[in-house]
Amino acid sequence: MLKNVFKDKRKNLMLILILVFLLPVIIYAAQKIQEYRSRAAGTFEVDMKFNPASGTFHQEDNVSLKVVVQKTSGRNINISGIQAVINVAPEFIVNSISCLAPFTGLPFTKINGQQVTVFCAISPGVTPIALTNLEVPFALLNLTVNPTATEGVSVVYFESTRVTEAGVTSPEVPDVSTGGTQGEYTIALKVTCPRANLGNLNCSLDGCIDTADYELFRQAFGQDASTITVPPDQATPDLFVDFMNLVDTADYEILRSNFGSCGQ
Ligand SMILES: [Ca+2]
Ligand SMILES: [Ca+2]
């Protein structure tokens, strides 16, 4: 019995000793992982994000996102190149990505399904770009909301980032980026608009063409059809499209002749 207790104590002591010896190894490994992580995301002095960073879009809407960098550090930073791998939510179709001036010296872009790779750099001989706390766009990402997208929040985020500081090549070329800030976009379903072509401009579900539609039409009467912004829950007052491209008496005739009628 006594022998067993002694044996157990020795066992515990051994365990504690093993732990004590292992602890520095575990701490060292954790520090290394941290170091690699922060190295992968740069020095966290320049953030990368999207403009707009949020918004509400509908199915089939075209969405242009500027990819921008912005300094968060107080020190002077001049950069010569920026690169990113961007993941786009399946609610968007990726149309194109391009570098923006002055980062058009050595453009490289690749679209692989929902993943976009973009490298943008200044030409040799161009003075490196001094960053301020203002957003500097370097790429343009063109998306279309998938016609089958469902309602909800869709995210566009950075898989990896690199912002290359100019003029320093030793001991290594500094990456001054953060891991990047994701963009969050709300997808809202398009409002169905029965009899919109007959003048149901407010998209009432009963399809009635009444004084509410007349009022919307009256506000647009006489305007250039291309300058009118039609809210997503309304229909265009340009009911009869012709070369004049106006909201005029021809459009009014369609609304007038259907005034007072309802239907689906
Ligand atoms: Ca109506
Ligand atoms: Ca017209």
In terms of domains, do 174 and 203 share one?
no
Q: Phi first, then psi: what are they for 15, rounded to 5°?
A: -60, -45
Q: How far is the CA of 255 from the centre of ligand 2 (A)?
A: 12
Report yes or no on 33 lying in a domain: yes
What is the reported pLDDT for 121? 98
Of the candidates 171, 188, 205, which is a domain's last residue?
Answer: 188
In terms of domains, do 178 and 53 share one?
yes
Residue 201 has pLDDT above 90, yes or no: yes
In terms of domains, do 36 and 54 share one?
no
Looking up tokens 């207790």 gives 5
What is the reported pLDDT for 36? 44
Name the band, by pLDDT with cuts 50, 70 and 90, for residue 193.
very high
The pocket of ion ligand 2, defined by CB under 5 A, consists of 238, 240, 251
Residue 54 has pLDDT above 90, yes or no: yes
Q: How far is the CA of 250 from the centre of ligand 1 (A)?
A: 19
Range 94-99 contact pairs with CB under 8 angstroms and sequence separation of 24 or more: 94/141, 94/142, 94/143, 95/62, 95/142, 95/143, 95/144, 96/140, 96/141, 96/142, 97/139, 97/140, 97/141, 97/142, 98/139, 98/140, 99/138, 99/139
Q: Phi first, then psi: what are they for 77, rounded to 5°?
A: -135, 125
In terms of domains, do 82 and 175 share one?
yes
Report yes or no on 208 lying in a domain: yes
Ligand at shortest distance from the CA of 250: 2
- Whole-angstrom distance, CA of residue 248 vs CA of residue 122: 50
Whole-prediction pTM: 0.67
Residue 67 has pLDDT above 60, yes or no: yes
Ligand at shortest distance from the CA of 233: 1
Q: How far is the CA of 48 from the centre of ligand 2 (A)?
A: 44
CATH number, residue 147: 2.60.40.680
Q: How far is the CA of 198 from the centre of ligand 1 (A)?
A: 10
Return the higher-pLDDT residue of 20 and 219: 219
What is the token pair recorded at 230? 């039609």
Report yes or no on 21 lying in a domain: yes
In terms of domains, do 60 and 104 share one?
yes
Ligand at shortest distance from the CA of 251: 2
Mean pLDDT estimate for the chain: 90
Q: Report, in this order, helix, strand and coil percent for the chain, each rounded to 5.
A: 25, 35, 40
In terms of domains, do 75 and 6 share one?
no
In terms of domains, do 61 and 148 share one?
yes
In terms of domains, do 59 and 173 share one?
yes
Q: For residue 209, what are the domain limits? A: 196-258
**End-to-end Cα distance, the chain:** 90
Rg for the chain, CA atoms, rounded: 30
How far is CA 179 from each of CA 48, 103, 112, 138, 159, rounded to the nearest angstrom?
8, 20, 21, 16, 8
In terms of domains, do 84 and 169 share one?
yes
Alpha helices in the chain (DSSP H): 2-40, 211-220, 249-258
Q: How far is the CA of 251 from the centre of ligand 2 (A)?
A: 5
Return the higher-pLDDT residue of 192 and 185: 185
In terms of domains, do 140 and 245 share one?
no
Residue 5 has pLDDT above 90, yes or no: no
Among 2-6, 157-161, 171-175, 253-257, whose mean pLDDT is lowest? Answer: 2-6
Ligand at shortest distance from the CA of 240: 2
